[in-house]
């Protein structure tokens, strides 16, 4: 069998996990890695969590998939869990974050079309954001590097600098159907919205009859220490997208909407696999764990410990910065040091990744133990100290003049 059969669309790490338990991954040679990326904020309950494993096994033995042409009781149950614990009334299930964003864009345009006519169709998004790789999500992503080679992008999108409320005001008008924003940008470098920005967007949408959409694909399902990040921000959007950690590793996406803007009806949108019994069993198991107040409080505590420790470490590196909330944190070390730290951490058995060019992302399982947090921080300190003690020219292999 050819080992080149898989299309090379990823720059992969030189490890091949075959099993996992808790916050740890193991490869075929028996090497163990402390997983502080969790499938990119997806393995919310870690690896092999008993509740999730049992739920998936039991459901797989009875019914994996039928069709959304029929009633799916588990789907209603999970939708009920989500609406009971949030400010939303309706849920559409799909399979991924970008599909949830697609659904939100369609809902916003249908809502505007119904209430105002076809002229009101534009969606405002922000620089450094990321909303997925389908054409709708890609067009909503205001980063040219993601667009290169795939143009033309879809029309009907406007972009403004993230965090700049004045620029957003200038960009919103009669044609604006929605404003789409991540409360904390994930792929763009773990950038939290500045004070007052999200509230300002809420007021702007109210004034112009536009929907406010929060992309919580990465920040949702307990990641920030709240079930959804908006609950800690004090700003309620009209629509919210969720995925990643919602299924704990099983593909699950969801779009949540308030009743007054839930404008999609039969034939407007759909998904073959969305909300299938297996996915719903996984989502139910995850939600029953991560929505508990004590669990979320522990996430906030562990996130605070990590953030404080990372700030202390950053103080020793000129220009370094720590950003994020809960167990979604970024340590910006710059484009030269960050990749080196990543490589050496991997050699020492700690899995992180580099985003935004020079930011290390920390997104461990929400079930990570306090002892594992200390272990990861010890490895990171040791690696950073070893690198900043070496002259830059020597680290980069260049000759000293």
Q: Report, as residue numbers or ranges, the catalytic residues.
A: 130, 215, 244
CA distance 301 to 310: 14
Q: Which residues 6+ apart lie within 8 Å of 225 measured at CB?
A: 232, 296, 297, 299, 300, 303, 325, 326, 327
Q: Which residues 6+ apart lie within 8 Å of 315 measured at CB?
A: none
3-state secondary structure 266-305: CCCCCCCCCCCHHHHHHHHHHHHHHCCHHHHHHHHHHHHH
Residues forming a β-bridge with 242: 254
Q: Classify the phi-psi angles of 213: left when phi > 0, otherwise alpha if psi is within -120 to 50, otherwise beta.
A: beta
Handedness of CA 377, 383, 386, 391 (dihedral sign): negative
Each as own residue / partner, the long-range contacts of residues 203-207 (CB below 8 Å, 24 or more positions apart, any chain) are: 204/165, 204/168, 204/169, 204/172, 204/179, 205/172, 205/178, 205/179, 205/238
Q: Are 380 and 350 in contact (CB under 8 A)?
A: yes
CA distance 257 to 104: 9
Phi, psi of 188 (to 5 degrees): -75, -5
Among residues 187, 126, 132, 181, which one has the least CA distance to residue 158? 126
Going by their DSSP bridges, the two strands 359-362 and 353-355 should be labelled as antiparallel
CA distance 209 to 127: 23
- Degrees, nearest 5: CA angle 258-175-163: 70
Among residues 270, 247, 214, which one has the least CA distance to residue 74? 247
Distances (CA, A) of 374 to 76, 117, 306, 350: 40, 56, 8, 12
Q: Are 188 and 130 in contact (CB under 8 A)?
A: yes
Distances (CA, A) of 22 to 19, 35, 46, 55, 279: 10, 9, 5, 17, 21
């Amino acid at each position: 069998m050819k080992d080149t059969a898989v299309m090379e669309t990823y720059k992969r790490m030189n490890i091949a996990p075959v099993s996992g338990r808790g916050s740890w991954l193991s490869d075929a040679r028996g090497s163990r890695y402390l997983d502080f990326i969790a499938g990119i904020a997806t393995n919310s309950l870690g690896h092999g969590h008993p509740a999730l494993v049992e739920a998936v096994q039991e459901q797989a033995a009875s019914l994996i998939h039928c069709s959304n042409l029929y009633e799916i009781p588990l789907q209603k149950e999970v939708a009920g869990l989500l609406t009971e614990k949030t400010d939303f009334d309706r849920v559409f299930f799909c399979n991924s974050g970008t599909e949830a964003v697609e659904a939100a864009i369609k809902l916003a345009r249908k809502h505007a079309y119904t209430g105002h006519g076809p002229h009101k169709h534009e969606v405002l998004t922000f620089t450094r954001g990321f909303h997925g790789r389908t054409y709708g999500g890609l067009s909503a992503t205001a980063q040219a590097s993601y667009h290169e080679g795939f143009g033309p992008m879809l029309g009907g999108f406007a972009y403004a600098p993230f965090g700049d409320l004045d620029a957003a005001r200038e960009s919103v008008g009669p044609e604006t159907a929605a404003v789409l924003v991540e409360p904390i940008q994930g792929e763009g470098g773990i950038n939290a919205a500045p004070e007052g920005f999200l509230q300002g967007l809420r007021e702007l949408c109210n004034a112009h009859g536009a929907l406010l959409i929060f992309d919580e694909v990465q920040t949702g399902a307990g990641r920030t220490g709240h079930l959804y990040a908006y609950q800690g921000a004090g700003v309620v959007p009209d629509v919210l997208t969720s995925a990643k950690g919602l299924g704990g590793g099983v593909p699950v996406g969801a779009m949540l909407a308030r009743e007054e803007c839930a404008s999609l009806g039969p034939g407007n949108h759909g998904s073959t696999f969305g909300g299938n019994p297996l996915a719903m069993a996984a989502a139910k198991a995850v939600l029953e764990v991560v929505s508990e107040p004590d669990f979320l409080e522990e996430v906030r505590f562990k996130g605070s410990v990590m953030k404080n420790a990372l700030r202390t470490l950053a103080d020793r590196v000129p220009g370094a910065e720590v950003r994020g909330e809960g167990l979604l944190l970024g340590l910006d070390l710059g484009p030269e040091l960050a990749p080196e730290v990543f490589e050496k951490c991997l050699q020492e058995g700690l899995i992180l990744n580099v985003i935004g060019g020079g930011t290390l992302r920390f997104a461990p399982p929400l079930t990570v133990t306090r002892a594992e947090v200390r272990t990861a921080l010890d490895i990171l300190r040791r690696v950073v100290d070893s690198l900043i003690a070496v002259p830059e020219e020597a680290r980069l292999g260049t000759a000293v003049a």
